A and B are shown apart, each in its own frame.
Chain A
Amino acid sequence: MPEGDDWAAGWQRLQQEVGREFDERPVTFSADRVEAGAIRRYLEPLEFDCPLHYDRDVAIAHGYAHIVVPTSALPTFAMAPMWRPGEVLFGSDDRDAQPTSTPITGILTGLEPATSGYFATNYDVEYFDSAVVGDRLARHGAKLVACEPKETKVGRGAFLTWQSQIVNERLDVVARLQTTFFRYKPR
């Protein structure tokens, strides 16, 4: 990344690609079908006592086919697996070593300058359908909507906004998301 006042110039290549769809993969579904136990565990840290999410009879009585995935959990259930058979994730015993790969790094195009920090900041989501136990979901699409270089208190980088969608096995769109990540070089 260029230093000094030119640091923002390092993001120009990506800025020029705003509007481009970067995801050219076929739709790839999550490793597992939605499981009731995984939904129940999602509720635990939230103390989210809503029977639509743990009681099949209640969910059916309200018009759903099975226990319902919370809307906020859709990205979780569409996430790629952390590990696949044959992969080695942990090749170092350094205390803070990171896995060799992870599905939660956000989208990397190869056009962005080197950064080591990132976190999600914004979510705008439109929900079109529910997801229930037994469904299999996929997150697909990576259209770059915005690239805004910015210096914040944690470092210099850019807010990158991506559009994607979560689909079920029928390829019905369950949700359309715009997600913003701040990708940056820490101070």
Chain B
Amino acid sequence: MANEQRFWDDVQQGQDIAPLAFPLTVYRLVMAAGANRDFNAIHHNPEVARASGASDIYANTLLLQGMWERAARGFIGLAGVIRRQSGFRMRSFSVPGETVVVKGRVQRKWRDGDLGFVELAMWSENRSGVSVGPGSIVATLPLRRRL
């Protein structure tokens, strides 16, 4: 991620965050299950996934939330602090052979004392359209100068 820290003062309402693409493969989903410990077979065993009504194995919610976090972190920088995640809702299954693209936009910004808050509207898209969200992440960013 970029080393340059973004400051709250410089954030504009309506500003887009950089879209992030996550090509999904069986390999990636198996790595994710091992890393985030969600070993539910619907995320790594195609036969079990199909018996459950899905078309194939699909990304688990921890992986999908991690995608949102990575996208948000890229915007708020190392000094930003994530305070809340809301409206994270898996609307369709994200399966191998497609790419999940995480997008976001600054919905609002406000001050509370010495803290500068931003609310980022967040969503994920796959070939079906919006696959996760729309939701939001609230974070604090450093101020250039405390008043």
User: Chain A interface mostly helix, strand, loop or mixed?
Assistant: mixed
Q: Assign chain B's interface to a size class.
A: 35 or more
Is B53 on the interface with A (CB-CB < 8 A)?
yes
Q: Is the CB of B78 within 8 A of A50?
A: yes
Q: Is the CB of A41 within 8 A of B42?
A: no
**Residue from B34, B53, B67 within 8 A of A46 (CB atoms):** B67
Is A22 on the interface with B (CB-CB < 8 A)?
no
Measured CB to CB, the closest approach of chain B to A44, in angstroms, equals 6
Of all chain A residues, the one with the shortest Cβ separation from B30 is A45
Q: Is the CB of A186 within 8 A of B53?
A: yes
When A41-B35, A72-B69 are in contact, do A126 and B79 touch as well, CB less than 8 Å? no
Q: For the complex, give the distance between the alpha carbons of A187 and B36 in Å.
A: 29
Which of A96-104, A141-149, A166-174 contacts the other chain? A96-104
Bitwise, A20-55 to B at CB < 8 A (1) or not (0) is 000000000000000000000111111111111000
Bitwise, B68-107 to A at CB < 8 A (1) or not (0) is 1110010000110011111111100000000000000000
Measured CB to CB, the closest approach of chain A to B123, in angstroms, equals 14
Q: Is the CB of B52 within 8 A of A154?
A: yes
Bitwise, A117-161 to B at CB < 8 A (1) or not (0) is 111111111110000000000000000000000000111000000
Q: For the complex, give the distance between the alpha carbons of A127 and B85 in Å.
A: 8
Q: Is the CB of B85 within 8 A of A125?
A: yes
Q: Which of B39, B51, B65, B90 has the most chain A CB atoms closer than 10 A to its own CB? A: B65
Q: For the complex, give the distance between the alpha carbons of A122 and B89 in Å.
A: 4
Contacts of A116 in B (CB 8 A): 52
Of all chain B residues, the one with the shortest Cβ separation from A38 is B35
Measured CB to CB, the closest approach of chain B to A135, in angstroms, equals 17
Contacts of A79 in B (CB 8 A): 37
A to B contact number (C-beta, < 8 Å): 116
Of all chain B residues, the one with the shortest Cβ separation from A184 is B53
Contacts of A114 in B (CB 8 A): none
Measured CB to CB, the closest approach of chain B to A58, in angstroms, equals 7
When A123-B85, A125-B84, A127-B83 are in contact, do A73 and B31 touch as well, CB less than 8 Å? no
Is A62 on the interface with B (CB-CB < 8 A)?
yes
Is A75 on the interface with B (CB-CB < 8 A)?
yes
Measured CB to CB, the closest approach of chain A to B30, in angstroms, equals 9
Is A164 on the interface with B (CB-CB < 8 A)?
no
**Residue from B37, B51, B67, B85 within 8 A of A124 (CB atoms):** B85
List chain A positions with a Cβ less than 8 A from chain B: 41-52, 58, 62, 70-73, 75-76, 79, 82, 95-96, 98, 102, 104, 116-127, 153-155, 180, 184, 186-187
30 contacts between A and B (CB under 8 A): A41-B34, A42-B36, A44-B35, A45-B28, A50-B70, A62-B79, A70-B69, A72-B62, A73-B36, A73-B62, A76-B37, A76-B62, A82-B37, A95-B47, A96-B47, A104-B38, A117-B53, A119-B40, A119-B52, A120-B61, A121-B61, A121-B89, A122-B90, A123-B65, A125-B85, A126-B83, A127-B83, A154-B54, A184-B53, A186-B52
The 4 closest A-B pairs by CB, nearest first: A154-B53, A72-B65, A45-B32, A45-B31
